[in-house]
Amino acid sequence: MGNHNILDREGIDITNEDTWYVLHTAELPDGIAVATVHLDELLHRNERLDVVLPLTEVLTAQGVLQETFGLITQRSSRIGLWADTATTTEQLDALLRLQQTANEANDEEEPASTSLVRALDLIVIYTPLFTDGRGFSLARHLRLEGYTGEIRMAGAFGRDQIPYLMRSGVDTFAIAHENMVEDIQTAFYALPTAYSGDDASRLPMFRTAQAEVQVDESPVAHA
C-alpha cells in the first residue's frame, strides 16, 4: 500500500504527515491509504491509530466489522470509511440512520441528530475505472448532506479530473507513484475552484470573451 502519495488541494505532497491506516480486508483495493493494519494488530496496540474502515462492511448487519465496530472505535484515535463508486447515495444516507440509532440506545446525552457520516474524520472514495464518474456525485452528495470532514479520492482518476473533483468537494488525492510527474501541481490549477466545503462556486465554469465585455447603454449624442 506504500506505492502512493497523498496530495492536498494545493497539490502539495503531504504523505509524510498522513496518519491514516486502512483496515486490511480480503477485498481491499490498492491505494486506499499509504499504510495498512490488521484487526488483531489494531486491537493489541497500545497507541490509538487513525483507521479507515470499509463502508460496506460497517453497514452489513451480519458483518464482523458491524459486530466489532464499537470495539474498533474504542481502540482508534480517529475513524474514517472508504467506499467504492458502486456505493449508492442511499447507502451513504444509511449512515445518517446508523448513528442516530446508536445514540438513542447507548448515549442519552448525545443528540440523536448527530450522524455517523458527520462524525467521521475521513471518507475515501475509490474509483476502479477511469471512465467511472460516480465519484463526483458521491462527493457532492456528502457535502450537500452536511459532511465537513476530509474527502479523499483514490483509484483510477485522471489529472484532468482533479479540478472538477475539487469543485465536487474532494480535499485530498491518493496519487500512484508512477503518476507523480514533476508538473503534477499544474493539475490543481487547471480551473478556478472556490469550493468552501458546503457550497460550490456560483460562477460558471466557463465564460466567453463576450461575457467579459461591459456594454455602455448610455445615450450617444449624434452630430
Q: pLDDT tens digits for the chain (223 residues)? A: 568 999 999 999 999 999 999 999 888 999 999 999 999 999 899 999 999 999 888 777 556 666 677 788 888 899 899 999 999 999 888 876 665 444 444 445 544 444 566 678 999 999 998 888 899 999 999 999 888 899 999 999 988 899 999 999 999 999 998 888 888 888 887 665 444 444 443 333 333 333 343 444 444 444 4
Burial class (CB in 10 A: 0-12, 13-18, 19+), 217: exposed
Ramachandran bin of 169, using left for φ above 0, alpha for ψ from -120 to 50, beta for the remaining angles: left
Spell out the CATH class of 4-212. Answer: alpha beta
User: In what side-by-side order are the strands of the sheet with 172-176?
Assistant: 4-7, 172-176, 150-155, 122-127, 76-84, 49-54, 20-23, 35-37
Q: Which residues pair with 4 in a beta bridge?
A: 176
Provide the 8-state DSSP code for 15: G
Q: Cα separation of 124 and 138, whole Å?
A: 10
Domain ranges of the chain: 4-212
What is the Cα–Cα distance from 142 to 146, expressed in whole angstroms? 7
- The DSSP symbol for 136 reads H
Determine if the pTM surpasses 0.85: no
